[in-house]
Structure 1
Amino acid sequence: MAVLRELQRRGSLARTAEALHLTPSAVSQQLATLAREVGVPLTEKDGRGVRLTGQARVLLAHADLVAAQLERARADLAAYGEGGRGAVTIGCLSSGILGLLPDVLRGLDERLPRVRVDVVESTPPDLFTALDGGQIDVAVAVDFALTPPDTDARYSRVDLLTDVMDIAVPAGHRLADGGRIRLRELAADPWILGDARSCVGAVARALCAAAGFTPDIRHAVDDWAAVAALVEAGQGVALIPRLVRPVYSHRRLSLLTTEGEAPSRHVFAAVRTGAEGDPVVATVLDQLRLSAAESTGSSEDAGPHGLAELPVPDLPGVGEGLHEEQAAT
């Protein structure tokens, strides 16, 4: 059933095998065994590949219910034993590890002192494959094309925060003192963006497309610290989320905001449906909510730059702009 669910997500036997660390022949054998057990065909030819049959989709709906009930059973057993022991693994995107998880982990050290908390960096779709397989217990992600939709019954979701993205430009850029600008004003600039298959690159590309242009990508970089360093070096402009402000607070660059509604990413946590009743998982989700609320509050208090709680370096760019704002205030 797990193989069938993964095939639904990945769309091909090869990608399913790669995600589950199996050979394509092993995937085919497991699907054939399941088809014999339930007595209906589960796949059919589709060119050089396969696709799910209507019967397979009916079976998957029941599989989701069975998986959710098993998670509820585990949660009930954990609650019976009063929880507070064992281990929990959080899978999280890199910006969440930078800007959110440090406070979460400090809170969990106090609230769950006997529970081991592990962190794994991951993004969809691999993040949700690991969640389905039990390799992680809580997933922290942003909404983009490869993220399961809100209506996916396999997961129980918790909204955490809206992560505003500022425009980072070199300190000497022509618009460095421009304040609020239109994103399209940077259409002719070289851009620093992540890979199109990653949430970093996919979200930025979508925002540029919504602004009416295709960015000229000069550097394809997924690491936020590297993005900030390249902007500082005058190699291009980039969209940088406020969640990762620790990596760029010391850089000689300028942060601009957009006119109208600011570009942003929606950050959420997800667990397997039914697992939210586990006392340890419930505590982790609650701490994620609390830390996200505090992070959002700090960002709003900071104004458009979102740097109020960080030391302001005595440098042009980030520091200089903040000193001018404070003097005006």
Structure 2
Amino acid sequence: MDVQLGWPDLELVRELGDRGSVTAVAEASHRTPSAVSQQLKSLQRRLGIPLVERDGRGLRLTDAGRALADSATGVATALAEADASWRRFLGDVSGTVRLASFFSASELFIPGLVERLALRFPRVRLDTFDEDVSQDGFADLVADYDIVVAHRSDDTEPAPRPNIRVVPLLREPLDVGLPLGHPLAGRAAVEPADLVGEPWTAPPVGFPIERALLALSARAGQPVRVVRRTTHLPLMERLVSRGQCLALLPRYSTLDHADGRFALVPLTGLRAGRHVEALLRPDREARRVVAAVLEELRAEAAQISAGR
């Protein structure tokens, strides 16, 4: 059977693969779930082959569906590259870019990024959003944003996702936050064994700092005692400054906050840090305006790394 596929067909399959349910695709495309379901049924009927299958309460693509989704990414990227080529010919860098990042990355990158864009690309509008999820959850956000700033711990590698580009920004070491009156606060560095028996504050399970604390516990040979759980770094800093607990804190994000409030001491005997990366779809990266924002984001990250 000779079946003609159009862009709406390819886009539907890609969105189902990225979002995992008819309801999520309907919300993203401002349609009813019934309309999306009917489009999917019609496409599968024309092709004569299933494109999705049940995965718990959601959907996942079959091999045939994944092949179509990969084709959709190729088509979308080619269209974006053609538009970017034309804009380069016109000398035009303009438009809106939606960037999502976790809280401390927003504080670290966005003020400088806004200043850079104002100087080099004044016709670019940057819309920013806070998304603080576990390190495995960032890849799911690329369907909704042009750029997603994510982090992962030293002990993990990016999960292979062929339709997501991973652009390294920087590696941020984790230091030990100590109250100023703590016996270890004056040390040039501390080892995991020095920290046995201390109370800690840490993010929930699955966040890079929490994974590093587990590695510290393993190296020290004793479990750590976590007395507070939060993703809010300012709260972690305040708990440390008041002498209520210790914390592993990201160096670049915390350094300016520590002076006169708490000590930030490097950790030796254990490689503890987090990798900060930009995640995006290949077709989004091909857009001229997104590439411009990504370029300035990488420049800001390089300056932060060099300056600290």
Q: Same fold (TM over 0.5)?
A: yes
Identify the residue that residue 91 of structure 1 maps to in structure 2: 100
Distance between the aligned counterparts of 1:214 and 1:231, measured in 2? 20
Tell whether 2:221 aligns with 1:203. no
Number of corresponding residues:
291
Contact kept? 1:229, 1:251, Cα under 8 Å: no
Residue number in structure 1 paired with 2:7 = none
Shift, 1:15, TM fit = 8.9
Q: Structure 1 pair 114/53, CA: closer, same or farther in 2 (3 Å)?
A: closer
Once the 2 structures are TM-superposed, how far is the Cα of residue 283 of structure 1 from its aligned partner? 2.3
Give the fraction of aligned pairs with identical amino acids, expressed as a percent: 31
C-alpha distance in 2 between matches for 1:278 and 1:171: 49
Whether the 8 Å CA contact 2:73–2:283 is kept in 1: the answer is no
Q: Is 1:132 the equivalent of 2:143? A: yes
Distance, in Å, in 1 between the alignment partners of 2:248 and 2:23 is 31
Correspondence for 1:110 among 104, 110, 119: 119
Distance in 2, Cα, partners of 1:210 & 1:148? 16
Q: Distance in 1 between matches of 2:301 and 2:55?
A: 45
Instruction: After superposition, give the CA deviation of every residue in 1:46-75 in whole Å (9 maximum; x if it has no partner).
Output: 677655433233333323323322332332
Aligned twin of 2:264: 255
Does the 8 Å CA contact 1:75/1:274 hold for their aligned counterparts?
no
Structure 1 segment 305-316 matched on structure 2, within 5 A: none
Q: For 1:275 and 1:148, locate their aligned partners in 2 and report how far apart those are by CA, in whole Å.
A: 23
Instruction: Check the 8 A contact 1:91/1:127 in 2, yes or no.
Output: no
Measured in 1, the distance between the counterparts of 2:26 and 2:191 equals 42
User: What is the Cα deviation at residue 160 of structure 1?
Assistant: 1.5
Which amino acid letter does the alignment assign opposite residue 114 of structure 2?
Answer: L
1:181 to 182, 186, 190: 190
1:297-328 CA distance string (max 9 Å, x none): 111xxxxxxxxxxxxxxxxxxxxxxxxxxxxx
Q: After alignment, is 226-235 or 210-219 more displaced?
A: 210-219
Whole-Å separation in 1 of the counterparts to 2:246 and 2:35: 46
- Measured in 1, the distance between the counterparts of 2:153 and 2:17 equals 18
Residue 168 of structure 1: how far off its partner (Å)? 0.5
- Displacement of 1:165 in angstroms is 1.2
3-state SS in 1 of match to 2:264: strand
Kept after mapping to 2: 8 A contact 1:150/1:157: no
Residue 110 (structure 1) shift: 0.6
Deviations 1:87-112 (A, max 9, x none): 22322222122122211211111101
Structure 2: which 5+ residue stretches go unaligned? 1-9
TM-score by length of 2: 0.78
Query: Quick check: 1:271 aligned with 2:280?
Result: yes
CA distance in 2, matches of 1:291, 1:215: 35
- Match for residue 141 of structure 1? 150
> Closer, same or farther in 2 for the Cα pair 1:260/1:120, shift >3 Å?
same
Unmatched segments (≥5 aa) in structure 1: 300-329
Return the alpha-carbon distance in structure 2 between the equivalents of residues 127 and 143 of structure 1: 10
Moved more, 245-254 or 187-196: 245-254
Deviation of the 1:234 alpha carbon = 1.9
CA distance in 2, matches of 1:114, 1:281: 12
Q: Is the 8 A contact 1:156 1:274 kept in 2?
A: no
The alpha-carbon distance between structure 1 residues 253 and 151, as it changes in their structure 2 partners (threshold 3 A), is same
- Deviation per CA, 1:123-144: give whole Å up to 9, x if none: 46775555324xx322222236
2:75 is equivalent to residue 66 of structure 1: yes
Contact 1:184 1:208 in 2 (8 A): no
* Equivalent residue, structure 1, for 2:295: 286
- 73-82 vs 18-27, which deviates more? 18-27
CA distance in 1: counterparts of 2:208 and 2:47, whole angstroms: 41
Matching residue of 1:241: 250
Q: Does 1:296 align with 2:296?
A: no
